[in-house]
Amino acid sequence: MVGPLVSAGALLLVVSACGGAQNAGTGAGGGPTLPTATSSSEAPPDIAPGEMPPDGKPVTKLDTNALSPEFPRTVWTQGDGRTVGLIGQEGGCGKASASVLEQSTSAVKIELVETLPLDKQACTMDIRFPSLTVQLSEPLGERTVALTSRQEQK
């Protein structure tokens, strides 16, 4: 009689543990979702593609010809115009970052990079859009922002 009670108790424990994980939220694969962090401590959190922070001013001169079609194209300036914010793209074990490649009187070239780990590991199958910022030497003003992107492994 003790055997069936122990089995029933173990089953109840497993079922209640699974129920607790479900309450945390489920991802696309049915497993629990995990919180994600932004790639820049200065960037505002929880900015979705197509949105910008309340204090952001949209960049109207934007060259996105070098980006793949599904890549976010939301760019803004903050403060005095020296801070440029944008939405990156990362997935699984990748980590997004941005850097200024060139600055001239007519354009600013910003590169978006997704860094992937060198070693093989299990990674989630999700895509995230973290807010990123870069600092310019002079306010953006009427210059065009040209975006490029690439992946690297480190």
Q: What is the pLDDT of residues 54-112, one digit of tens each?
A: 889 999 999 999 998 888 899 999 999 999 999 999 999 999 999 999 999 999 999 99
Residue at 89: amino acid letter: Q
Distance (Å, whole) CA 25 – CA 124: 15
Predicted confidence band of residue 120 (pLDDT cuts 50, 70, 90): confident
Q: pTM value?
A: 0.67
Backbone dihedral angles phi then psi of residue 15, each to the nearest 5 degrees: -65, -40
Which residue's structure tokens are 């990156």? 88
Query: In sequence order, what E strands does 1-140 have?
Result: 57-58, 62-63, 75-78, 83-87, 90-91, 95-103, 107-116, 127-128, 131-135
| Cα–Cα distances in angstroms (integers) from residue 69 to residues 14, 65, 89, 118, 149, in the given order | 44, 9, 12, 27, 12
Give the whole-angstrom CA distance, residue 6 versus residue 111.
59
CA distance 22 to 146: 43
Give me the count of residues in the chain.
154
For 69, what's the count of Cα atoms within 13 Å in the CB-facing half-sphere? 0
Bridge partners for 78 per DSSP: 83
pLDDT in tens, 130-140: 999 999 999 99
